[in-house]
Structures are given as C-alpha cells and as structure tokens.
Amino acid sequence: MEMEPAIRARGLRRAFGDLRAVDGIDLDVPRGTIFAILGPNGAGKTTLLRILATLTRADAGEARVMGHDLAHEPDKVRAAIAMTGQFASLDEDLTGRENLVMLARLWGFGWRAARQRAAELLAAFDLSDAARKQVKDYSGGMRRRLDIAASLIVTPGVLFLDEPTTGLDPSARAGVWRLIRGLAAEGVTILLTTQYLEEADQLASRIAVIDHGRKIAEGTSRELKAQTGSGVLHVTPLDPGNRAIALGILGETAQADPEGARLSVPVADDTEAAAHLARLAEAGIRLAEFSLGAPSLDEVFFALTGKEAA
C-alpha cells in the first residue's frame, strides 16, 4: 500500500479582507513525524492550522489530510485528526471529568466506556485530583493538559497543536515536550506551531518558517542552522567605548543590542565562536561577559530575510 504523507497541501490561501493571512503555502508532512511551523505573531500559523483542521475554509489551494481531501471529505478528515487550539476549547462551567465524558460520548463511547476513558485520561495527565473541579478553577498548566487530553479521546492520525507551550512555566513546558515525543513514538503525526526556535529545534524533525502568510524557509533543524548559524555568540565589551571596534571585528553579520552594551553574532559552531573570541583578545578588547546561545526567532528571521521579524 502506498503511504501518502499525513498532510499534503498545495497553494493554500486565505485572506481576511485585504489581509493575506495565508498566502500560498505548500506543505508535506510525513506520517509519524513531528513537524513545526515557526513564525512570529500574526504570521498566519493559526489560520493555516485551522484550514487543515477544517475549521476555516481556504480561498484557494487544496490539501489532503491522512489521504482525505479537505474540501470534499471534511468528515473523514475530522475523523482522522484532533486539534488543541491556541486558547482552551473547554467548557469552563463543567468539571474536567464532565468535559472528557462529553467528548468521549461524541466520539461514540457508551456512557460507561466514556466515564472509563475520561478516568484513564485524567490519570495519565495527572488531573485525577482536579477531576471534579470546574475548569474555570484550573490553572493555566492544568487547562493546557486537559485541552490536550481532550484531543486524545481516540488516537488521532494527525494531532494539531497551536502554540502548545506558550504561557507555560519551564517545568510544565518540559512536561508537554515529553508528552509530544511520547505521542510521536506511538505513531501519531504531530503538526505544531511555535514562536520559539528552541522548541522547534528540540521537538521537530522538520521546520517550516513562515512570515506574512508565506513560507520563507523549510528544512531540518540542521539545514536551517546551516543558513542561520547554529547559535549566537553574545559578547559585552568591558569598555563601552570599544563597541564599534568590536562590532567591526565580529563582521557584518554582527548586531548591536539597541539598549544594552551587548553585541551578537551568529556562529556555525563552537570553533567559530572561539575564533571570534580570540580575535577580540588579539585586538586587546577585554570582555565583561560572553555567552553562546541558540539564535532567537528574531535572529533566524534576520538571517533568513535580512529584516527584523514583524
């Protein structure tokens, strides 16, 4: 049997009035992989995901999800997907348990099986203690967990996650990352959006970078880093008067932090970072501080487009 990719989209477009939210996007997401859509606020990530999840209609273009055409077989697509949106799609007045029982019923479970499935999910997501609390009393992290649990009533072919960790604290974020990896290991295809390069890098085997509704780059994390530098060297000259000279030494890809005294330059690897530091030392520029970090989204955008992220 020929295995079609989990998602194949061609030329998807959607405008809101004059604003082209999604402006001609092609996408191929192989089955069983984690695919990240990386872009700043307003790039069109949510609109793209909503189109693929049958929630928003495309003005043009076509897509197949798990082998079903989006426009002609929306119900088959819906049976094959689950989506956890950017904002919780839960009934705030109901308890966590009631939310899950309701959704299990809507997937076709009988009452008893629905209660059983709800209990399993509550236990798996560490929500058993809060099962009988109304969702409006949940913390942000609990809400996000319940919202993801609500997408796993049955095993989805494709799971859409729209900014799954935005607003979460680091430990909750690590929990969601573990969960996403676990689901992918079980064969669930995951299409997630994020504003953090580090998140895409940590989780996804392929990353599409989008801006103003267009895809501006796509590849593995390694391929993207080859274009953008795998990291960024930050240096702060001890004497602020030396900033201009240091900037010259670091080369034309270097940027000066508009407020602080810090200078940043994308580097391919640690050797290149060490070479920069050595040249600064040779020129007699003492440093108050230096560090090597992953490039921020802004820096990726700068490297890819030569301009700041919108």
Partner 1 sequence: MSAPLPQGPRPAPPSPASTSLTFAWRAVLKFKHVPEQLFDLVMTPIMFTLLFTFIFGGALAGSSTAYLQWFIPGILVQTTVFNTVYSGMGLSTDLSKGLFDRFRSLPIWSLAPFAGLMVGDMLRHTIAGAIILGIGLALGYRPEAGLPGILASFALLLAIGFGWGWIFIVLGLVVRTPMTVMTLGFAVLFPVTFASNIMVDPATMPGWLQAFVAVNPVSLMTTALRALMAGTAGWGEIGRALLAPAILTALLAPLVLWLYRRR
Tokens of 189: 């295809």
Is there a contact between 88 and 144 (Cβ–Cβ < 8 Å)? yes
Amino acid identity at 303? A
Per-residue x/- mask for Mg ion, residues 84 to 103, rule CB under 5 A? Answer: --x-----------------
Part of the chain binding partner 1 (CB under 8 A), chosen from 10-18, 92-100, 200-208, 282-290: 92-100
Part of the chain binding ligand ADP (CB under 6 A), chosen from 42-50, 109-117, 235-243, 291-299: 42-50
Amino acid identity at 294? A
**Chain-centre distance for alpha carbon 237:** 35
In this chain, which of 35, 37, 38, 46 binds Mg ion, going by CB under 5 A?
46
Is there a contact between 270 and 278 (Cβ–Cβ < 8 Å)? no
Tokens of 143: 């809400």
Is there a contact between 246 and 262 (Cβ–Cβ < 8 Å)? no
User: Of the two residues 195 and 255, which places its CB atom closer to ligand ADP in the complex?
Assistant: 195
Nearest to 161 by CA among 88, 82, 84, 87: 84
User: Of the two residues 89 and 291, which places its CB atom closer to ligand ADP in the complex?
Assistant: 89
**For the chain, how are helix, strand and coil distributed in percent, rounded to 5?**
40, 25, 35
Enumerate binding residues for partner 1 (CB under 8 A): 50, 53-57, 75-76, 78-79, 81-83, 85, 87-95, 98, 102-103, 105-110, 113, 117, 120-121, 124-126, 134, 145, 149-150, 152-155, 175, 178-179, 182-183, 186, 188
Enumerate binding residues for ligand ADP (CB under 6 A): 16, 19, 21, 39, 41-47
Enumerate binding residues for Mg ion (CB under 5 A): 45-46, 86
